[in-house]
Amino acid sequence: MRTLFDKLWDAHVVLTREDGASLLWVDRHYVHEGSHHAFAKLAERGLAVAEPALTIGVADHYVPTRRRAGITDPDIARMVATLEGNAATHGLRLFGLADPRQGIVHVTGPEQGLTLPGMLVVCGDSHTSTHGALGAYGFGIGATEVAHVLATQTVWQKKPARMRLSFHGTAAPGVGAKDMALHWIAALGADGARGHAVEYAGPAVRALSVEGRLTLCNLSIEGGARCGMVGPDAVLIDWLRGRPHAPADFDRAAESWADLASDTGAEFDREESIDMGAVAPVVTWGTSPEDALPITGTVPDPARAPEGRAARIAEALEYMGLRPGQKLTDVAVDQVFIGSCTNARIEDLRAAAAVIAGLRAKVPGMVSPGSSLVKAQAEAEGLDRVFTEAGLDWVDSGCSMCVGMNGDLVAPGKRCASSTNRNFRGRQGPGARTHLMSPAMVAAAAVTGHLTDVRPLLQGRA
């Protein structure tokens, strides 16, 4: 009996060394403008990309999200031009800034049907775990590994342990995948799934849309997991049907995907279970995704924390400018951001728009769709007008304020309600204070000016 992960692993092993590391075949390799170091290593050795058809370039990390004036930063312009040049030299498919399909790599790949069930997917970005929502084995790799994959279409890995994380029950109104993810990371810790491949299971996971599953798998890395995945089902098959790069004989492919499930009785190295009755809208208060609580909670008191954790809590509160015992709903924000590979798909934008429609934001903010196609769809639905009429900026697609290295920053000491994936010190800019939450919760913070429980605002709205 094998788990889903066992099946994906076994299907990609080329050989295994005496030390236990295996050489794995890579089905999809995504590169971005930050991958230039790896291409330089190939050039130094006079090597070509081994499998150009399996490598896809995407401009997303450093690109500005206000592009009418072009790229004004010469370093970023050079990186984007280098990506374009490397793609042309090696014959790679590229979703560049001039392409109407451009977007964040972990949005564009699934959106185009380039990531499919059963694949092994890598990228020089830790949130490649996102692709596991499509029944794939996706994980991030370092610059040296990127070069190795470019040259050989393989990567060395040691097999992670297997963990099943089941969500039982039904999500309450106002509770979604972001809340589920932050809840389990807070419960198990930022290292709670370290060294494990996590399979998400249970009725609450199956009830999620594919967009929700992408969010859940995206955040796996924030709980220490090597990857996250959800087995294919009818929901996923319907979502993939008709995608530009879906298999020509789609029905036959879909039949084979049905085998990508953990066998009954398959053993996991670890099992964890979460009752959805305990999951409420969540926000983070500190400098790690594990520093998360229900919005109805209060800032923790280091004096009441275990000895080994008290110092870290105190340091986080000092950086975040918060007081022990302070109600989370009393925390004022300076700005908001909706975007990133975690929460910038059409479903996320619709959820935020449903909260903010007809209201006025009390703080500035910006909305950056996950891809140019998502942006076009949102504009066709009038979502852009909902955000702009509320006073938020509607910008182009890119990693934007999630990574803070493309001109979109939170100023030192300022507090941002954000739909992104990391709240580390300086993640959104030097001295920036980041609170993670769902897009709907970000919208609620926008219209109230402070961290807010979105549920009352949803009453009577579609």
pLDDT (tens digit per residue) in 260-294: 999 999 999 999 999 999 999 999 999 999 999 99
Instruction: Clarify whether residues 297 and 354 are in a common domain.
Output: yes
Using the 3D structure, point to which of 271, 305, 340 is the last residue of a domain.
271
- Is there a single domain that holds both residue 232 and residue 315? no
Mean pLDDT of 23-50: 96
What pTM was estimated for this model as a whole?
0.97
Domain co-membership, 305 together with 263: no
Mean pLDDT score, 111-132: 98
Q: Taking 90 as the threshold, does the pLDDT of residue 405 lie above it? A: no
pLDDT given for residue 232 in this prediction: 98
Task: Please give the pLDDT value at position 40.
Answer: 96
Question: Do 195 and 266 share a domain, yes or no?
Answer: yes
Residue 216 lies in a domain: yes
Q: Is 452 in the same domain as 394?
A: yes
Please give the Cα distance from 215 to 24 (Å, whole number). Answer: 26
Contact 147, 53 (CB under 8 A): no
Q: What value does the mean pLDDT of the chain take?
A: 96
**Does 374 lie in the same domain as 230?**
no
- Asked whether residue 22 falls in the same domain as residue 114, the answer is yes
Residues 27 and 84 in one domain: yes
Distance CA 182, CA 283 (A): 8
462: pLDDT strictly greater than 70: no
Q: Provide the β-strand partners of residue 365.
A: 336
Per-residue pLDDT tens for 414-447?
A: 999 999 999 999 999 999 999 999 999 999 999 9
The answer on 328 and 196 residing in a single domain is no
β-bridge mates for residue 57, sequence order: 31, 94
β-pairing, 433-436 vs 415-418, is parallel
Q: Which helix (H) or strand (E) holds 208?
A: none
Query: Of 214, 247, 271, which residue constitutes the final position of a domain?
Result: 271
Tokens matching residue 245: 């790069």
| 248/299 same-domain check | no
- 340 and 448 in a single domain? The answer is yes
Q: Which residues of 397-431 are buried (b: 16+ CB within 10 A; e: fewer)?
A: bbbbbbbbebbbbbeeebbbbbbbbbbebebbbee
Q: How many domains does the chain have?
A: 2
CATH of the domain at 306: 3.30.499.10
φ and ψ at residue 427, rounded to 5 degrees: -60, -45
Residue 277 counted as domain residue: no
Residue 256 within any structural domain of the chain:
yes
Positive or negative, the CA dihedral 264, 267, 268, 272 is positive
Q: Do 236 and 95 belong together in one domain?
A: yes
Question: Token pair of 82, please?
Answer: 């280098």
Task: Determine the average pLDDT of the residues in 195-213.
Answer: 98
Nearest 5°: phi and psi at 211? Answer: -60, -40
Q: Are 214 and 128 in contact (CB under 8 A)?
A: no
**Amino acid of residue 366:** M
The answer to whether residues 262 and 2 touch, using CB atoms and an 8 Å cutoff, is yes
According to DSSP H, which parts of 189-306 are helical?
Answer: 203-206, 210-218, 234-240, 250-257
Question: What is the span of the domain harbouring residue 418?
Answer: 282-458
Residue 362 banded pLDDT, cuts 50, 70, 90: very high
The secondary structure of residue 275, as a DSSP letter, is E
Q: Which of 202, 237, 271 is the last residue of a domain?
A: 271
Mean pLDDT of the region 82-101: 96
Q: How, if at all, do strands 365-367 and 433-436 pair? A: unpaired
Q: Which helix (H) or strand (E) holds 397?
A: none
| Alpha carbon distance, N-terminus to C-terminus of the chain | 45
Domain assignment present for residue 276? The answer is no
